Amino acid sequence: MGAQHAKSVKAETLVPLGEHVQIVPAERLPAYDAGPAQAYGTRTVGLEESVPLLTLVGERSLFPREDAISTYGLVVNSSLLPLVAKGVVDWPEESGGTTRRYAFVYKNIIAAPLAALAQEKQQIGLVAEMGPSVALGLKPEWVCWSVLLPLARVLQDFYDKDFVHGRINPHNIFHHVDKSVTKAVLGECLVTPPSFAQFALYETAERAMADPIGRGLGTLGDDMYALGVTLAVLLRHADPMAKMDLDAAIRHKMDVGSYHALMGEELLSGPILEMLRGLLMDDPSERWGVGALLSWIDGRRLSQKQSRRRKAAQRPLNFAGGRYLRPDFLAMDLRRAPEQIDALLESGEMETWVTRSLEDEALSLRLDRNVRAARETGRSGAAYLERLACYVAIALDPDAPIRYGSVAVHPEGIGIALAHAMARSQGVDAFGQILSQGIVLNWVASQEGLLTSLAGLTSRFDECRLHMRQSKTGYGVERCVYTLNTGCPCLSPNFSGHFVHTAEDMLRALEAICAQGKPPASFLDRHAVAFLVVRDKKAVEAHLFDLGAAEPNRVLVGTLACLAALQKRTGVGPLPALATALAERLSGLYERFYDRSLRESLQKSVRDFAQGGHLSKIAAILENEALARQDRVGFRQAQLEYLRVTHEFRGIADQMDGQEIFGKKVGQQVGATVSAGIAGIILLVVVFVYMTGKSLFPPGSF
């Protein structure tokens, strides 16, 4: 696929990254690929001195290790591929368009990988997910001097910086491009999620059980194990597991131990044997660390510990047509027939097998606790069977990944796997169950020792369990993916052509989308809101109620307020296309104002502010409470005046109903009023005469 793509791209096509880097899509370098991430030739421009470069271009749904980039850059070692630049490029596709891709540029100081020797000897063949089968039979002296010594120094630097590589294998260890330099160079580990591109052979059995995307970061101890496997395949002359698939190889490692599984009957000298056994110890607490390895290199001989064999039962347990003596093997197969687990538990057969055949009291207690936890939310349906299989598997093998349905993930890898599934529009129901049921917390409680590395994750998973209980905007599984992934971009479908890592990125992406004349139906969907709640909580938290409302106008109010707050907080500058697209949808908000002239004035102001790209000014006038209050008061006064006039009008109208008697009635009323007045005057005169005794008309008046 990569070669065909390279051929389909015109030779003169160049993809710029910054001012001085140009990637050449037609120049494929498949020997340097990192899983699905493909390597390409790269040129420098505008520099006095040309620097040989190579670039790894990642897949859109596989997010790089953003949080590890700065630490990687701090490791200065001639045996580690140096990072020169990184960024997002517009990558040409076979269809003729472009997509946004992550690109990591390294100084090209490497030649062929060590595994290329196996290809020359025709000893390599791809065996499922285990990776190519390699057995080189190289001289121990060369391996120790050219591979072990430089990589030990690199691992020492990793230890000092608290950095985990996650992809140590002979396909990612290279000869130096300068043939006079005999020390090997370790390749990159940033362009894909942690350990995703690592072959399962170089992982411990427990990590190999997990889906590659769900392995999680791991520890430096896992890097030490990968180094041990690398040295083993370089030294051995034959591969005992060459014909095994992934499942069989994992079981073989667990059954006989990693050293014997990898080396078989291979005979090695005492010091080399001691070193390999130390690096390949299956118990992490007994595996050699960097300090022990450097002591061995300095000539000190360390006391050798024997690998502890896993406990096996005295009699087998029958399940789904198989006979099991070991609980970890049974745990691997439970999800193949979850419908049969309940019967084993109800009959007491599994409990008897654990207590009598295995004689493992701790396992019995875990099993009882986990079964009760699985049954707390019901005992019917397919979801119950999957949940029961998951809980029982954790009890039987606490070191293994969490297995739920078709998903197998370590707690550190759940967030990465969830983000990957969402980016690929795959179902996330299994992840939703893992998060909402508190399965991770149960997994942690089932561990025999305190895992300090999971202390921070435990609190985050407890937080996610609470988020899953709410379906409102800003919560749910969308909130969880960003809580668990600090470097995950916003996965909203609105930004399928962009990588949005910050609130400022989101505003710029919305501006670019609107400038193309295709504004999204919802500027802030569930993904965008959840992303902002985690990354810039102050800007969005006050508007969550409006953003999740059922009324479109309230959603618009919340959207405008939130985007305006982001524009102000980020200082991103004018956003005319976004402001114009948003202003075109505000017609419903103007209807909140009663004064027609005020509405027209507001519309004109909004248009002017939109052309200038000022969201905050638009929000300010539409959220002006004083103006809205004044409008309401004016409307209330107008209502009262209308009622008064209406009442007066109705009174006159009632009077006008009988037009033929309207004058008579009025005359009668006037006559009655005048008569009453005259009568009153006469009465007053009579009373006056009576009280004074005087005559109203004195004698002689007539």
Confidence of residue 125 (pLDDT cuts 50, 70, 90): very low
* pLDDT reading at 639 higher than 70: no
Which residue type sits at 341? I
pLDDT at 401: 97
Minimal CA–CA distance to 113: which of 168, 151, 189, 170? 170
We find that the CATH architecture of domain 2-111 is 2-Layer Sandwich (3.30)
pLDDT at 127: 43
CATH number for the 112-297 domain, one of 1.10.510.10, 3.40.140.10, 1.20.1270.10, 3.50.50.60? Answer: 1.10.510.10
Structure tokens at 296: 């061995």
Q: Is 420 left (phi over 0), alpha (psi -120 to 50) or beta?
A: alpha
List C-alpha distances in Å: 241 to 132, 210, 233, 642.
Answer: 11, 20, 11, 93
Segment among 125-129, 343-347, 396-400, 657-661 with least mean pLDDT? 125-129
Confidence of residue 591 (pLDDT cuts 50, 70, 90): low
Confidence of residue 318 (pLDDT cuts 50, 70, 90): very high
pLDDT at 473: 92
Q: If you average pLDDT over residues 109-120, what whole number do you get?
A: 82
Q: If you average pLDDT over residues 624-647, what whole number do you get?
A: 63
Taking a C-beta distance cutoff of 8 angstroms, is the pair 41, 29 a contact? yes
Which residues, in sequence order, are bridge partners of residue 113?
A: 174
* pLDDT reading at 42 higher than 90: yes
pLDDT at 447: 85
Taking a C-beta distance cutoff of 8 angstroms, is the pair 417, 435 a contact? no
DSSP string, 158-223: HHHHT------STTSEEEESSTT--S-EE----SSSTTTTS-GGGS-HHHHTS-GGGS----HHHH
* pLDDT reading at 364 higher than 50: yes
pLDDT at 2: 53
Please provide the size of the chain in residues.
Answer: 702
- Proportion of the chain above pLDDT 90, given as a percent: 65
The mean pLDDT of the chain is 88
Cα 17 to the center of its chain, rounded Å:
26
Residue appearing with tokens 């004083």: 626
Which residue type sits at 605? S
pLDDT in tens, 483-518: 999 889 999 999 988 999 999 999 999 999 999 999
CA 249 – CA 241 distance, rounded (Å)? 6
Minimal CA–CA distance to 354: which of 362, 341, 364, 345? 364
Q: How many helices (H) does the chain have, and how many strands (E)?
A: 32, 15
Annotated domain spans of the chain: 2-111, 112-297, 317-484, 493-623, 671-702
pTM of the predicted structure, to 2 decimals: 0.85
Confidence of residue 657 (pLDDT cuts 50, 70, 90): low
pLDDT in tens, 267-286: 888 899 999 999 999 999 99
Alpha helices in 541-614, H assignment, sequence order: 544-547, 552-570, 576-583, 587-590, 596-612
